[in-house]
């Protein structure tokens, strides 16, 4: 079994090595936005050199997801209206979705249902961030972190079908069964992908610690807790499918405490989640 686990890890590492890197443009966008002295004009110059990315940003800003009153046709205006952080997250999410869309993923997780789950978690994370008082310019990062939280499931091969089957039959959390049968879980795999794409610390923490909140550094823990709660909410309501119908609920109170939220707020989210999920479908269509 140990040899099988070694082979499994090596196979996953090879898969990740072969995954395409993010484009030079997206790399420059991330670099610019990481600087405190960066200006919207610098971001505009970089994105405008990439017609595809420019088109994606304009398509997103004019979608129902942002519900703006009038059509935006200028990239400069889009950056001014949305802010550099939101435009950065747009560029990042669309690039990552395109990078993994063609991956030879296991038949275990149907693509449409997997992304439906992922979008649900992204939308819920953003709504929880709003409820917990996160500043408006930082909320989009929670949507992206939720959208990408299960990236680590993509490199698993057809052996994952057995893992999902055991988790379902024994009604146990998927992450526990992954460790038991494969010797590696989707959080660890996600951490490898986050490192390859040089995602920021918060994004990486949400990907690799959403089932193990104590593994996150203190500064990121409340943010990871929001994504973990969002994941729990979408699993409870059976939106999409990412293979985890029996997640660990025992730490729900701790997650709520970390985020400063309570059960009534958590439960009331259902009124807007479905509408927001429909609007967020645009992220899969750009």
Give the predicted TM-score (pTM) of the model: 0.89
> Would you state the pLDDT for residue 286?
67
Report in angstroms the alpha-carbon separations of 267 from 56, 85, 125, 209: 34, 29, 13, 23
Which domains occur in the chain, in start order?
A: 20-102 (no CATH), 104-286 (1.10.3210.10)
Task: Write the pLDDT tens digit of every residue in 187-197.
Answer: 999 999 999 98
Looking at residue 22, the DSSP 8-state letter turns out to be P
> Would you state the pLDDT for residue 104?
55
pLDDT, mean of residues 157-177 = 92
Confidence of residue 280 (pLDDT cuts 50, 70, 90): confident
pLDDT at 1 over 60: no
> Would you state the pLDDT for residue 10?
87
> Would you state the pLDDT for residue 247?
74
Task: Write the pLDDT tens digit of every residue in 50-97.
Answer: 998 899 889 888 998 888 888 989 888 888 888 888 888 888 888 888
Query: What's the half-sphere exposure (Cβ side, CA atoms, 13 Å) at 163?
Result: 28
Rounded CA gap, 196 and 194, in Å? 5
Task: Write the pLDDT tens digit of every residue in 87-135.
Answer: 888 888 888 888 886 665 567 888 889 999 999 999 999 999 999 999 9
> Would you state the pLDDT for residue 105?
59
Looking at residue 243, the DSSP 8-state letter turns out to be S
């Amino acid at each position: 079994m140990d040899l099988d686990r070694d082979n499994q890890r090596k196979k996953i590492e090879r898969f990740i090595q072969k995954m395409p890197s993010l484009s030079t443009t997206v790399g420059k966008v991330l670099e610019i936005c990481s600087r405190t002295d960066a200006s919207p004009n610098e971001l505009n110059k970089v994105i405008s050199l990439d017609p595809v990315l420019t088109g994606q940003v304009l398509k997103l800003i004019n979608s129902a997801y942002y519900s703006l009153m009038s059509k935006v046709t200028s990239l400069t205006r889009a950056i001014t209206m949305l802010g550099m952080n939101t435009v950065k997250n747009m560029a990042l999410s669309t690039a990552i979705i395109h990078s993994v869309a063609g991956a030879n993923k296991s038949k275990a997780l149907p693509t449409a249902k997997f992304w439906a789950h992922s979008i649900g978690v992204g939308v819920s994370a953003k709504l929880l961030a709003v409820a917990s008082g996160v500043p408006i310019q930082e909320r989009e990062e929670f949507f992206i972190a939720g959208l990408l939280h299960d990236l680590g499931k993509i490199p698993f091969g057809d052996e994952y079908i057995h893992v999902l089957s055991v988790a379902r039959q024994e009604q146990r959390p998927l992450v526990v069964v992954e460790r038991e049968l494969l010797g590696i879980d989707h959080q660890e795999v996600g951490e490898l992908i986050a490192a390859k794409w040089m995602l920021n610390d918060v994004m990486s923490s949400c990907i690799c610690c959403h089932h193990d909140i104590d593994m996150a550094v203190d500064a990121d823990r409340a943010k990871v807790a929001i994504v973990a709660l969002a994941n729990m909410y979408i699993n409870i309501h059976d939106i999409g499918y990412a293979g985890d119908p029996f997640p660990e609920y025992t730490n729900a109170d701790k997650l709520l405490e970390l985020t400063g939220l309570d059960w009534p707020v958590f439960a009331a989210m259902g009124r807007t989640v479905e509408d927001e999920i429909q609007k967020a479908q645009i992220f899969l269509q750009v």
